[in-house]
């Protein structure tokens, strides 16, 4: 009996140790939303909108990647990943990012409410009326991001955080928001009801 209890405790500890996926967060309406990475689903973003054939050609090189969907007129693919842990997924994504057509690779997250949430390589932000364009440009240059689209009348911007940036769209949107210069800064997200 004691050996069974010891085995169960050891198994639980091993499972906890093998869970290398990180908890992260993003801001939505100034509220911090906590999410946890999941290793078996992701979003692969491309610099340009590519044909389905080209996306298939790029991703079919990787046996662990399976395309779930390629939303029309977008530059990303939603994929499932044959991976048991986030470390393994990170290594696979590092290899995929060597392709010059790949902008970034991101794992999906699971919310505390059980929603599966994915991000692309974009985030949206709106400057406060007291924030100057020069302040925005300083943040863009420091983070190695790029403004993709802008509306200088409403001070609304879409910014790309690619594989050469100082973090992904979630990280950099958080950093921008935490400066206090923005009304909001949020990663471009899409959600699904569950993580499977």
Is 70 exceeded by the pLDDT of residue 50?
A: yes
Domains of the chain are 23-118 (3.30.70), 120-189 (3.30.70.80)
Span 61-88, mean pLDDT?
Answer: 93
| Summary mean pLDDT of the chain | 88
Is 90 exceeded by the pLDDT of residue 137?
A: yes
Q: Between 163 and 13, where is the model more confident?
A: 163
**Locate tokens 């509306």: which residue?**
151
Q: What is the pLDDT of residue 63?
A: 96
Is 80 exceeded by the pLDDT of residue 192?
A: no
């Amino acid at each position: 009996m004691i050996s069974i209890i010891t085995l169960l405790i050891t198994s639980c500890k091993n499972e906890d140790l093998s869970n290398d996926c990180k908890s992260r967060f993003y801001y939505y309406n100034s509220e911090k939303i906590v999410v946890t990475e999941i290793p078996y689903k992701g979003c692969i973003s491309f610099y340009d909108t590519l044909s389905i054939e080209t996306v298939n050609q790029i991703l079919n090189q990787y046996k662990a990647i399976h395309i779930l969907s390629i939303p029309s007129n977008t530059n990303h693919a939603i994929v499932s990943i044959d991976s048991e842990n986030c470390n393994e997924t990170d290594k696979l994504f590092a290899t995929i990012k060597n392709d010059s057509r790949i902008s970034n690779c991101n794992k999906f997250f699971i919310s505390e409410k059980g929603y599966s949430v994915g991000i692309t390589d974009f985030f949206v932000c709106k400057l406060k009326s007291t924030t100057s364009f020069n302040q925005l440009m300083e943040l863009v240059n420091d983070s190695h991001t790029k403004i993709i689209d802008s509306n200088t009348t409403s001070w609304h911007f879409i910014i790309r955080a690619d594989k050469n940036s100082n973090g992904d769209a979630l990280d950099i949107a958080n950093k921008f928001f935490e400066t206090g210069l923005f009304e909001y800064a949020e990663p471009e997200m899409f959600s699904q009801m569950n993580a499977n």
